Amino acid sequence: MSALTRREFLKQAALTGLALSLPSWPATAWSLPKKNGGNPLPLPGPSGLYGLLAPEGRLTLTAAPAQGALPGRPGSPFLAYHATQNGAVFLNPILRLQRGQDFQAEMVNSLTEPTIIHWHGVDTDWRQSGHPLLAVPPGERFPIRFPVTNRAGTYWYHPHPHGLTGPQTYFGLASFFLVEDEEERALAQDLGLELGLTDIPLLLQDKRFDAKGHLVYAPSAEEKFMGSLGDTVLVNGLDQAVLTASRRLYRLRLLNGSTARIFHLELTSQGQPQPMVLMGTDAGLIGSPVSMERFFLAPGERVEILVDLSRAKEGQEFVLANRPFDPMHQEMDMAGHGGGHGEAKSPAAAGHAGMGGMDMSGMKMDGMDMPGMKMPNMKKDDMKMGGHDNAQGDAHGDAHGQGGLAEGAAYPLLRIQVGPGPAQVRKIPAIFSSLPDLSAIQTGSLANTRDFTLAARGQEWTISGLTYAMHETPVRVEAREPERWRFVNQVRSMPHPMHVHGYPFRVLSRQGSPAQVKGLAVNPSGILPTDLGFKDTVLVWPGETVSLALDFSTPDYAGEQTFLMHCHNLEHEDQGMMLNFTVAEGTKS
C-alpha cells in the first residue's frame, strides 16, 4: 500500500472478506451543510467517527475499510478502527482512560496487509507498544492488555507496520488516547471544562484529493525522500471547519497527525495575534501556564492550549491559522536526490519565492483566497521571518512538485465564531502540575551521553549512518539509569521530528537553532514553550542539536525491552529512518 491509488485501494477493500460484515456508511452520512462560509466542526459525540469511548471491559478494535465515513466526501476510500460498545458504533474512537485502569482490547486485522497498533506516548511494555516485529497478517488478531500508568495527557494511537505506517495512517487509522487522573480532573473542574464541548480534541492532517474528492496517496521517490504533502488540511476529518463558541474558556488539544507537514500555528482576530495559554505538551500538563502567540507543531506532537473568549464580542471571529515560515527543506544540494529541487537557497537568496514561486512583494493579504479556503485578515508584514520574506525555494513552493498546499505558506485551519450569551469568566491558576525541576536534571548525574546524527546518504535518511533492520539492535542501554541523548541534525538537511518509544523525556537544550526557532526560546538553553514538560517527540531543525534527558529507570518494564526511535515524518520512517534500541532487564520479575 506504499503507493496506493484509489483504484488499488478499492480493489483491496473488495477483496477483504472480513470487512463485509462491518457497518456500511451511507453517502449522505457526512454531507454537512456549509455554515457562514464553512462547515460545522465535528465535535466528539457518543458514537460515530472520533466519538468518545470510555472502554468498559474488553474492547475490539477492527482495522478495516470505512468508505463513506470521511466528512463531506462520501465516495472517498478511508480506513478506520471500528468498535462497538453498548450498541453504539465508533470509527477511530477517542479513547478515554483513567490512570490506574487496566486497558484490555483486541485488534482485528481486516486489511489486506500486516498491521499493528502503536500506542504513541503511552507507557507499555515493548510487546504491547506496537513494534513492527509483532505486526499481524490479514485476518489475524492481536491481544492488548496493559495498565494505564501515564500522567493525564493527550496521547494517540496509529499503525506501525514497517514500510506501511505512512499509507495506513494517511488513509485514516489514527485517533486519540486520552488519560485522566485526579490532578487533571480537579483542574478541568476549576476551569469549567467538559470533554467534547469546551475541551476539544483536534486532529490536524493534510490530505490530497483527486477531482472526485477521493483520497489518493502515491508519493514519488522525491516525495518519499522529502515527505509527502497534501493539498487540503482537515480538522477532525473536515476542511473549512467552523466552531461556534460561547464567551468562555476553551481547551484545544492539538494533534498533528499528518505524515510530513509541520504547522506553525497562531490565533488571530481582525488580523491581530491573540494570546494562547500553553497548558500541556506531549505527555501531559506543564508546570505553570505560559502565554504565547505562535508555536511549531510537528508530525506526532501534541500541544494543549487554553483560549479565553470571555472578553470577546458577539460575532467576533478568531482564526487558528498557519503562520508563514521557512520550512528549510532545501538546506542541502538536491542534485542526486530525485531532482526537481535545484540548488539549495538561503531564504535571503530566494527572495520572494515563497508560496509556489509567486512574487509576494506588495501582495495584499486581507481577504486573499487560498486553495479552497478564505484567508484571515493578515498583514503583509506577517510574511516576514527574521528580517526576510518567507521563502521556500522555487520547486518546494509547489509542495514537492505535486501542486499541493506548500509547507510554510499562510492558510487557515479552523475558524472560531463567538455566539451570543453572557460571559463566563474563569481564573487560570498559577500552577498546573508539579514537575521535577529541570535545572536539577541538567546538573544531576546523567550516566551516559549518546549522540545520534541525522543526515542524508544518497536518497535515504539515516540515524548515525544507519537505516532500519528489523532484527538488529544497534543501540543498547545497559543500565536502567538516566541518560542524555543528543539529536544532531546536519546543516545540509531538513527538519526531522524525532520520536522515542517507551520512555518520556525532558528537553534540556537547543543549540544552533535557526532564527525563526531561536526567537521563540523561553530561556538561555534555547528550549521552546512546547519543549516544557514531558515529551515523546521533538522537532530538530537543520544545523540544530537538541539534548534530551531520558530516565530508563521508569517506567520499570519487566524483562529486556526492544523499543524504537525514529523520525515521525512517516515517509522517512517507512524508508528506514528508524533504529531499534534495547534496554537491559529491570528490577521487575
Predicted pLDDT of residue 363: 30
State the pTM of this model.
0.85
433-460 pLDDT tens trace: 988 776 666 666 787 899 999 999 999 9
Could you tell me if residue 271 is inside a domain? no
Distance (Å) of CA 413 to CA 276, 363, 416, 573: 16, 21, 10, 26
* Mean pLDDT split into 10-residue runs, the chain, 589 residues: 43 38 35 60 96 97 95 92 97 98 98 98 97 98 98 98 98 98 96 97 97 95 96 96 97 98 97 96 96 98 98 97 93 44 29 29 31 33 32 39 76 97 95 80 77 96 98 95 96 97 96 97 96 97 97 92 98 98 79
Q: Which domain holds residue 21?
A: 6-180
Q: Answer with the one of 159, 180, 201 that is the final residue of a domain.
A: 180
C-alpha cell at 270: 481582525
Does any domain span residue 370? no
List, for residues 338-386, the tens digit of each pLDDT value.
Answer: 332 222 333 322 322 232 322 232 333 333 333 333 333 333 333 332 2
List pLDDT tens digits, range 498-529. 999 999 999 999 999 999 999 999 999 999 99
Asked whether residue 42 is domain-assigned, the answer is yes
> Any idea what the CATH number is for the domain that residue 20 is in?
2.60.40.420
Backbone angles phi, psi at 566, to 5 degrees: -165, 165
C-alpha cell at 275: 494570546
Amino acid at site 365: M
Whether residue 432 lies inside any domain: the answer is: no
Number of structural domains found in the chain: 2
Query: Is 411 inside a domain boundary?
Result: no
Final residue belonging to a domain, choices 162, 180, 198: 180
pLDDT the model gives residue 307:
98
> What pLDDT does 332 receive?
65
In the block, residue with C-alpha cell 473536515: 238
The reply to whether 448 falls in a domain is yes
For 299-320, how does the pLDDT look when each residue is reduced to its tens digit (9 = 90+)? 999 999 999 999 999 999 999 9
Largest CA distance in the chain: 68
Q: Is the dihedral of CA 232, 227, 44, 195 positive or negative?
A: negative
pLDDT value of residue 434 = 87
Task: Give the domain-ending residue among 121, 146, 180.
Answer: 180
Q: What is the pLDDT of residue 331?
A: 73
561 neighbors 501 (Cβ within 8 angstroms): no
Residue at 342 is within a domain: no
Structural domain includes residue 415: no
CA distance 401 to 396: 7
